[in-house]
Amino acid sequence: YPKIVFHVDACQAIGKMEKEFNYKNVDMFTVAAHKLGGIIGTAALIKKKNLELLPLFSGGGQEYGLRSSTVNVAGAVAFLEALKISLKKDKEHYDAVKLLANHLLDGLKEMEDNFELNVPETINPYIINFSSKNKKSSVIVEALGNAGIMVSSTSACHSSKQKGSYVVKAIGKSDIIANNTIRVSFSYDNTFEEVDTLLTNLKKIIGEIR
């Protein structure tokens, strides 16, 4: 299908995959700085040279005529440094996060009466998704937040408009499981102690919620 332009959202892939991302198989891909430790609000669209895009904003001609406005120099420089570090240490970071993710998965399996995993064993370890079987995930997420633990009940892209995870439904899970997902995002800066704190608070919260 040579007329189709294939774009990939690679925000959770660049610097976070066990295997190198194959750029040759896509026409465009997007990377967000804050996913790599850069400044929030900075991102990049990488495209093949032969693709022509309509300008997002017309005017002064900045960003190669595609997005006119004052260029965020500080954000771009920080983005570049974060990208360099992520690519240089991707294997080291991946291995560290993999250990943390496995520790969390082992702990959740011990609470299988209360939680169900929505990820395969070979999942990219930076994001773990699981569901509460018998409690509202929104209540659990709020209680964790009150304890200083930041997780989410949906993806950030759909937090304001989506009820339940269509992805979890698509892999054959029930409405109860799809409607009560909990999403844990890891960084290489996280520690085993933080995972233990999360597991301890999950056990406590489940016991307190009616």
Q: How far apart are the C-alpha atoms of 144 and 152, rounded to whole Å? A: 10
Please identify every residue annotated as catalytic: 157
CA dist., res. 206 & res. 210, Å (int): 8
